[in-house]
């Protein structure tokens, strides 16, 4: 996954628009759009500000850290809020299924990414 796709992924998971992210970072919305489509390179200080904003390591944004090994804590726990005990049990079941079939899932993800 490219840097731009990671930025878009984190922004969407956080539930903010490109304009909102631009305002938080004090850049133009068109800059955010160009980052997300890999049309504009990031300055080092902007990369650090993005990592700080999303609470992720810069290595994650740069693709040096395996995306499967890192899920920002805020994303993991924010998404559980409001779920019933029954819902949480299903979430745990899904996690168990993913762990059991990790190798097959990785293979499918690689094939999918190769199609892009």
Q: Residue 60 in contact with residue 14, Cβ under 8 Å?
A: no
pLDDT at position 66: 58
pLDDT at position 110: 79
**Among 53, 47, 41, residue whose Cα is nearest residue 14:** 53
The per-residue pLDDT for range 5-54, each reduced to its tens digit, is 999 989 898 889 999 999 999 999 999 999 999 999 999 999 999 999 98
pLDDT at position 83: 76
pLDDT at position 106: 80
Q: Residue 36 in contact with residue 8, Cβ under 8 Å?
A: yes
The per-residue pLDDT for range 65-106, each reduced to its tens digit, is 755 455 555 556 666 777 787 887 787 788 778 778 888 878
pLDDT at position 98: 79
pLDDT at position 68: 47
One-letter-per-residue 3-state SS of the chain: CCHHHHHHHHHHHHCCCHHHHHHHHCCCHHHHHHHHCCCCCCCHHHHHHHHHHHCCCHHHHCCCCCHHHCCCHHHHHHCCCCCCHHHHHHHHHHHHHHHHCHHHHHHHHHHHHHCC
Q: How many CB atoms lie within 10 A of CB 61?
A: 20
């Amino acid at each position: 996954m490219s840097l731009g796709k990671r930025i878009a992924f984190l922004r969407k998971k956080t539930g903010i628009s490109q304009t909102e992210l631009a305002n938080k970072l004090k850049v133009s919305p068109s800059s955010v759009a160009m980052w997300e489509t890999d049309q504009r390179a990031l300055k080092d200080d902007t990369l650090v500000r993005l990592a700080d904003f999303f609470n992720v390591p810069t290595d994650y944004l740069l693709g040096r850290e395996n995306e499967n090994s890192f899920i920002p804590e805020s994303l993991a726990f924010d998404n559980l809020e409001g779920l019933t005990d029954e819902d949480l049990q299903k979430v745990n079941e899904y996690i168990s299924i993913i762990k059991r079939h990790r190798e097959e899932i990785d293979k499918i993800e690689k094939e999918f990414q190769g199609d892009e």
